[in-house]
Amino acid sequence: MRNRRAWILGAVLLAMLLVLGVSCAKKQVTTAEPGMEMTAEEAAAQQAAEDEAAAREAERLRREREARYRAEAAEMSAEALRQRFEEENVHFDFDKYVLTPQAMMVLDEKAVYLRDNRRVRVLIEGHADERGTNEYNLALGDRRANSAKNYLIKSGVDASRFTTISYGEEQPLCNQRNESCWSKNRRAQFRIR
């Protein structure tokens, strides 16, 4: 089940990257007639149309992921869904609190779970790896927890259902001193209360 899920998430991530790559590619100036360049207004209108198309495609992909999640969830017990919610962390790049596309996909699933389970309240824990001062890592953990919380709020979950806390580097999942280990520690973790 995890391999299938990982494959699906990988395929969706690849599709999103392709959509973003196409929408971010350099635009060639088109001409209405030979020697006449597109006006700024025409270029802005073309860009707006392309941005709108990319947004529609991203929304379509989000709906497909949500439908797949609901299909999987229908086959799972309430306890298994709860366990899945708490076990899947959101990971961050080094010294960052900006959500990656992979993190957004994880949070989209969590948003579905929370919308379906309106009585659930969540503690979002922010964590950092050991590099940096204690104070810096506590602040970074706080920004990571709030980044995840804000995404869930924008996804339609009421803000009053969340509490955040930062543990900085105090609760590592892995204690080795290498990138593979540090990447596991740069996370937001979710606890149902």
**Rounded CA separation 155/153 (Å):** 5
Instruction: Name the residue with higher pLDDT: 2 or 94.
Output: 94
Q: Where are the domains of the chain?
A: 1-75, 90-193
**Rounded CA separation 191/168 (Å):** 16
Instruction: Name the residue with higher pLDDT: 122 or 65.
Output: 122
- Average pLDDT for the chain: 85
pLDDT value of residue 43: 85
Question: Edge-to-edge strand order for the sheet containing 162-168?
Answer: 90-91, 187-192, 122-127, 162-168
CATH class of the domain whose range is 90-193: alpha beta
pLDDT value of residue 167: 97
**Rounded CA separation 20/190 (Å):** 29
**Which pLDDT band, with edges at 50, 70 and 90, does 104 fall under?**
very high
User: SS in 3 state form for 131-162?
Assistant: CCCHHHHHHHHHHHHHHHHHHHHHCCCCHHHE
pLDDT digits (tens, 9 = 90+) for 115-164: 999 999 999 999 999 999 999 999 999 999 999 999 999 999 999 999 99
pLDDT digits (tens, 9 = 90+) for 39-54: 888 888 888 888 888 8
* Across 14-28, average pLDDT: 53
Q: Strand 187-192 and strand 90-91: pairing?
A: antiparallel
DSSP H/E element including 66:
helix 40-74
Q: Is the pTM of this model over 0.75?
A: no
Angle at 122 between CA 137 and CA 159, to 5 degrees: 90
pLDDT at 29 over 50: no
Asked if 91 contacts 159 with a C-beta cutoff of 8 angstroms, the reply is no
Q: Tokens 């899920």 appear where?
A: 5
Q: Strand 90-91 and strand 122-127: pairing?
A: unpaired
Q: Distance of CA 172 to CAs 83, 125, 143, 156, Å?
A: 20, 12, 17, 31
Asked if 181 contacts 118 with a C-beta cutoff of 8 angstroms, the reply is no
**Which pLDDT band, with edges at 50, 70 and 90, does 75 fall under?**
confident
Q: At 127, phi and psi to the nearest 5?
A: -130, 160
**Rounded CA separation 24/54 (Å):** 10
Instruction: Name the residue with higher pLDDT: 82 or 76.
Output: 82
pLDDT value of residue 53: 84
pLDDT value of residue 74: 79
Q: Token pair for residue 108?
A: 């989209």
pLDDT value of residue 83: 94
